[in-house]
Structure 1
């Protein structure tokens, strides 16, 4: 008997100012300890900071997420006492969440003073195919290419 249950995905409402689902997902990913207002303020400040540089913030945000989406990822599988790293394709929802998590992670590691400036600069860099989040994607592609021989051990 299988103990796995199918769960219905919760519907996310679009954000207030831009009426965009991806921005509301990014707000939820940035949120710490349930403080959604704080994360909303940070994201909106970051988007207005991008706008102050005479760029369209929504286009830059969507372009950054599009550029960071990975097509493959590495899964570990133990076969015959040894571990293999197997490249596996990623479905669309996981691609988007991975790209947002990478942008958040590498934005917070930046050296700027304020969080909204860190996020804005990471979004700008990712939209121009630069930055740490793009380097992470390239690194995963290199690992997947080197372990392509183990793809026949697929789950």
Structure 2
């Protein structure tokens, strides 16, 4: 039985081998297919080697710049009230925003690779480069999500019906990125 003590989220302690960054390690885990982590690492490291030569900054700084452009502030959650399902805009917590941005980056890079008939590594390179400059498929996905949330702003008062966590989300610069 609970005694009213809320468990705190544990600090992430996994880092990638080359750059010692938790954000890049999480990105590698998202890109990994069928447990082939070495293949995902090879793709990500080759992409960041090319980008760091072109942009002349560290891969960790590149990822942070990409995420400042890709992190969403609002997302839509379906909420059923009175037999009708509404798309309710809710603020995005930091960990969820990072997960969404990683998912969008993976989707858009595979889409770019298929469209241009190049390897996934090349598609990932192009998409990260475009996200650094504020354009590309991942940015379009984010803007579309923001646009849909703005369109459904009238249903924001239904936010607390379907949401179990009734605390307001606080977004500060300190906890914006993983360390």
Q: Same fold (TM over 0.5)?
A: yes
TM-score where L is the length of structure 1: 0.89
Q: CA RMSD in A?
A: 2.0
Which SS does the other structure have where 1:113 is aligned? coil
Deviates more, 1:50-59 or 1:131-140: 50-59
Deviation track 1:74-123 (CA, whole Å, cap 9, x = no partner) reads 00111112111100011001111110110011001112512211111111
TM-score where L is the length of structure 2: 0.78
Deviation track 1:49-92 (CA, whole Å, cap 9, x = no partner) reads 21343532522222112210000100011111211110001100
- Following TM superposition, where does structure 1 have runs of at least 4 consecutive aligned residues deviating by more than 6 angstroms? none
Deviation track 1:24-60 (CA, whole Å, cap 9, x = no partner) reads 0000000011110110000001111213435325222
Residue 9 (structure 1) shift: 5.3
Work out the CA distance in 2 between the residues paired with 1:54 and 1:151.
Answer: 41
1:51 aligns with 52
Deviates more, 1:7-16 or 1:54-63: 7-16
Q: Unpaired runs of 5+ in structure 2?
A: 161-179
Q: Unpaired runs of 5+ in structure 1?
A: none
Matched, 1:118 2:120: no
With over 3 angstroms needed to count, the CA separation of the structure-2 counterparts of 1:112 and 1:123, relative to structure 1, is: farther
Residue 8 (structure 1) shift: 6.3
2:19 aligns with 18
Contact 2:77 2:88 survives alignment (8 Å):
yes
Deviates more, 1:123-132 or 1:53-62: 53-62
2:107 aligns with 105
Which SS does the other structure have where 2:78 is aligned? strand
